[in-house]
């Protein structure tokens, strides 16, 4: 059975079968060939991503889906002789080698041909022959061919290929009037002089350079091919006409453009990175307005529950929870321990001071990464209200003790079946706690709610860490479901009429069904779940930028750095907003007509998390989105700056309760 732990199988199922390639032989061949073996070292970690990738000599290895689509269209039989033009890395030749009797592949760059030959030889493809030369002239000594596949785009089908194709043979190639934009066609030779041509889809390949292709200077077009055409000129003008310029962030009217979302049940505010000051400040300004003018009840952020609770108790003027530690001390600290969040927290505390206790706006965490702290919080709570129950809970949570500080290892241990799963214990601990809801809540409803949330988190985190070993989509989905459940519990806890502002990354907030996340990787997210539950009462607001600086690390647990954000790519959403020329703006995406139609054509969008790797930006940070379906509004800052982390020394005069204290 196909296990979802195997990235190659997952790629075949999601990216290829999921997009309608049905030929079982082709799917099996794609499952067999190790794409990483055809990539330069630096690219290997992206081998099963849904994208073309750069290879040596400024060329590309095609997107896996496109390879499968072309091979399927060529209808390669088990004894067929196949000619490929554009060996590149040798990957597509290996796939053909799995399917055909013999494969002849030509590459114009000698260095690439040598590498491809060596890789194919190492993997044992002795039915594939590689030659250096101008493939537009074909390989007359080995003709006729049952199938010809070209992986570079030419202006027309070369005469040499027509002549070398067997009657009933199939030729698949990208043909286009420009060297970088083509239609993928299939030409079938129906008789000695007759041909049948069909169009498959729009594509973008590197140019076919040669006597019967494009002249040499077109090799300057060295862009990664994408299936979508490049942005159509004029879109930025439509954006310019429709977007609403925003004043300075310090201007008290900055957030008035968001009053139209004041009647929603939940307003979700995104961010295109976890380290950009403008995104935090804009979210703070919008949230202040939603709380002050529109009566929103709390803010729920992409942070761990126990850390955020420390802030919550501070802003609502409640005593600190016994044993609580300063908030946000784990990597990536700057995500919440920064001067912008600090300013917002101080504002919220000041605002709440003037409110009745039950009307004070809270600050909560939706995330799932606090297994050890959450368990400790449940036990500390039970110690104070029910010591007998605390003893039982200690035993139950004991199942996870060996893994609490490195829970990622737990999933692997359970998968290897050397250790038992702790699911039943986690669920039982939660059930025990909830069963005594009335008794416990009579002491202090807030503290009971906190303990119950921590017990829910421990149960969800146990499932999450196990799922991590079954593939990224499952664990991602559990995390976002947990965030959504927590949001629902918070709304229910605050009672009828409660309304929430959510702060999380665009990847959690922009409806996943309209991005590569949902379409290709099978991931769902908080924004999508909110739309399903609240319909029009949810507003999903995304954020974007063209360039500037960002606080980020190069690797998980790595040093915090201030990095330059590269100018946005020409084929991105961001580039269109940049070209529109307004420094700060919001585009409400309920736009009709031409602008909507053109924005709906998929484009790349940049996602920077706590890690930023400009060297592999396309593969690491861009994904295709359909903007007006992904969000209800898009907030634009053309240039942005890195967040400033909070100082690590105690500031003089701060109250003892100060949640970011040392
Ligand atoms: N099939 C390749 C793979 O699986 O990695 C992808 C190849 S890449 C999209 C296209 C290749 O065509 C480039 O390596 C380029 O150098 C080559 N090419 C372009 N014009 C050519 C020609 N006239 N003859 C042979 N190769 C050519």
Within its chain, how far is the Cα of 214 from the centroid?
37
Atom 14, ligand 1: which residue's CA is nearest? 88
Residue 151 CB–ligand 1 contact under 6 Å: yes
Our mutation pick for probing the ligand 1 site, out of 52, 60, 88, counting the most ligand atoms within 8 A of Cβ, is 88
Residue 112 CB–ligand 1 contact under 6 Å: yes
How far is residue 420 from each of residues 71, 376, 392, 426, 474, measured CA to CA in Å?
Answer: 45, 22, 19, 13, 20
Give Dmax (Cα) for the chain: 92
Residue 205 CB–ligand 1 contact under 6 Å: yes
Which domains are seen in the chain, by residue range?
Answer: 6-223 (3.40.50.150), 235-367+474-640 (3.40.1660.10)
* Helix (H), strand (E), coil (C) string for 16-63: HHHHCCCCHHHHHHHHHCCHHHHCCHHHHHHCCCCCCEECHHHCEECC
Cis peptide before 14 (omega within 30 of 0): no
Residue 54 CB–ligand 1 contact under 6 Å: no
From ligand 1's centre to the CA of 152, what distance in Å? 5
| Percent over 70 (pLDDT), the chain | 94
Write out the two tokens for 429: 């601990």
Write out the two tokens for 361: 């706006």
Q: 283 near 345, Cβ under 8 Å? A: no
Q: Rounded to 5 degrees, what angle do the CA atoms 335, 513, 503 make?
A: 25
Other Cβ atoms less than 10 A from the Cβ of 357: the count is 9
What pLDDT, in 10s, does the model give residues 149-180?
999 999 999 999 999 999 999 999 999 887 77
Mean pLDDT, the chain cut into blocks of 10 residues (662 residues total): 62 86 94 94 84 85 93 96 97 97 97 96 97 96 97 94 96 88 92 92 87 76 42 76 93 94 97 97 98 97 95 94 80 92 97 95 96 94 95 94 83 76 93 95 91 96 86 86 98 95 98 91 94 97 97 92 95 94 95 88 94 92 95 98 80 56 50
What pLDDT, in 10s, does the model give residues 283-300?
999 999 999 999 999 999
* pTM of the predicted structure, to 2 decimals: 0.72
DSSP lists the bridge partners of residue 625 as: 515, 603
How far is residue 62 from each of residues 39, 66, 68, 546, measured CA to CA in Å?
Answer: 11, 7, 10, 27
Q: Are strands 561-565 and 244-245 parallel, antiparallel or unpaired?
A: unpaired
CA–CA separation, 514 and 284 (whole Å): 27
Residue 107 CB–ligand 1 contact under 6 Å: yes
What residues contact 33, with CB distance under 8 A and at least 6 apart?
A: 91, 94, 95, 98, 123
Q: Which ligand 1 atom sits closest to the C-alpha of 209?
A: 20
Instruction: Check residue 648 and give its pLDDT.
Output: 61
Residue 88 CB–ligand 1 contact under 6 Å: yes
Q: In which order are the strands placed within the sheet that holds 81-85?
A: 128-132, 102-107, 81-85, 145-150, 165-178, 181-191, 194-203
CA–CA separation, 275 and 270 (whole Å): 12
Q: What is the DSSP letter of 149?
A: E
Write out the two tokens for 33: 């060939």
CA–CA separation, 343 and 579 (whole Å): 33
- The residues annotated with a catalytic role in the active site are 62
From ligand 1's centre to the CA of 25, what distance in Å? 24
Residue 210 CB–ligand 1 contact under 6 Å: yes
* Helix (H), strand (E), coil (C) string for 86-118: CCCCCHHHHHHHHHCCEEEEEECCHHHHHHHHH
From ligand 1's centre to the CA of 59, what distance in Å? 7
Our mutation pick for probing the ligand 1 site, out of 108, 207, 222, counting the most ligand atoms within 8 A of Cβ, is 108
CA–CA separation, 613 and 645 (whole Å): 20
């Amino acid at each position: 059975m196909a296990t979802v732990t195997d990235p190659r199988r997952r790629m075949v199922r999601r990216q290829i079968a999921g997009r309608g390639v049905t030929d079982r032989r082709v799917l099996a061949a794609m499952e067999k060939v190790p794409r990483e073996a055809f990539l330069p070292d630096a690219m290997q970690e992206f081998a099963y991503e849904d994208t073309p990738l750069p290879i040596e000599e400024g060329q590309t290895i095609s997107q896996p889906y496109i390879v499968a689509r072309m091979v399927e269209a060529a209808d390669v039989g088990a004894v067929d002789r196949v000619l490929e033009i554009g060996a590149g890395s040798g990957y597509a030749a290996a796939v053909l080698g799995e399917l055909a009797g013999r494969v002849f592949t030509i590459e114009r760059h000698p260095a690439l041909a040598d590498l491809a030959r060596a890789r194919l030889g190492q993997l044992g493809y002795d039915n594939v022959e590689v030659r250096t030369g101008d493939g537009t002239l074909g390989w007359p000594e080995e003709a006729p061919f049952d199938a010809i596949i070209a992986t570079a785009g030419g202006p027309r089908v070369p005469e040499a290929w027509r002549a070398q194709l067997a009657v009933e043979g199939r030729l698949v190639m990208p043909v286009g009037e420009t060297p970088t934009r083509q239609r993928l066609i299939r030409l079938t030779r129906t008789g000695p002089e007759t041909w049948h041509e069909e169009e498959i889809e729009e594509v973008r390949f590197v140019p076919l350079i040669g006597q019967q292709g494009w002249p040499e200077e077109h090799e300057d077009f060295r862009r990664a091919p994408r299936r979508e055409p490049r942005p159509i000129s004029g879109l930025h003008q439509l954006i310019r006409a429709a977007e609403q310029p925003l004043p300075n962030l310090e201007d008290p009217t900055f957030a008035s453009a968001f009053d139209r979302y004041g009647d929603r049940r939940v307003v979700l505010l995104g961010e295109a990175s976890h380290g950009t000051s403008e995104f935090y400040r804009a979210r703070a300004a919008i949230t202040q307005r939603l709380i002050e003018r529109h009566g929103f009840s709390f803010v729920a952020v992409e942070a761990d529950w126990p850390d955020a609770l420390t802030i919550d108790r501070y802003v609502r003027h409640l005593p600190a929870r016994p044993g609580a530690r300063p908030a946000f001390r784990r990597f990536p600290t700057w995500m919440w321990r920064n001067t912008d969040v600090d300013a917002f927290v101080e504002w919220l505390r000041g605002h709440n001071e003037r409110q009745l206790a039950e009307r004070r706006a809270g600050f909560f965490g939706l995330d799932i990464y606090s297994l050890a702290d959450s368990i400790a919080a449940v036990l500390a709570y039970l110690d104070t209200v029910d010591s007998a129950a605390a003893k039982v809970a200690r035993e139950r949570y004991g199942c996870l003790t060996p893994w609490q500080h490195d829970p990622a290892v737990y999933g692997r241990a359970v998968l290897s079946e050397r250790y038992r799963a702790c699911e039943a214990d986690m669920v039982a601990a939660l059930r025990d706690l909830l069963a005594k809801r009335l008794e416990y809540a009579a002491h202090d409803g807030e503290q009971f709610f906190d303990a119950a949330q921590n017990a829910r988190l421990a149960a969800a985190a146990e499932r999450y860490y196990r799922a991590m070993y079954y593939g990224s989509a499952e664990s991602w989905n559990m995390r976002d479901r947990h965030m959504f459940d927590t949001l629902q519990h918070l709304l229910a806890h605050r009672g009828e009429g409660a309304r929430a502002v959510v702060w999380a990354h665009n990847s959690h907030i922009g409806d996943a069904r309209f991005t590569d996340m949902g379409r290709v990787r099978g991931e769902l997210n908080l924004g999508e779940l909110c739309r399903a539950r609240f319909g029009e009462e949810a507003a999903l607001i995304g954020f974007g930028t063209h360039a500037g600086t960002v606080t980020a690390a190069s690797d998980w647990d790595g040093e915090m750095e201030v990095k330059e954000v590269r100018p946005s790519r020409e084929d991105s959403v961001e580039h269109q907003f940049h070209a529109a020329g307004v420094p700060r703006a919001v585009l409400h995406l309920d736009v009709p007509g031409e602008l909507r139609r053109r924005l709906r054509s998929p484009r790349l969008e940049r996602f920077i998390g706590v890690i930023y790797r400009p060297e592999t930006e396309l593969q690491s940070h861009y994904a295709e989105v359909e903007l007006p379906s992904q969000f209800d509004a898009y907030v634009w800052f053309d240039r942005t700056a890195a967040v400033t982390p909070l100082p690590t020394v105690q500031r003089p005069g701060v109250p003892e309760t100060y949640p970011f204290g040392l």
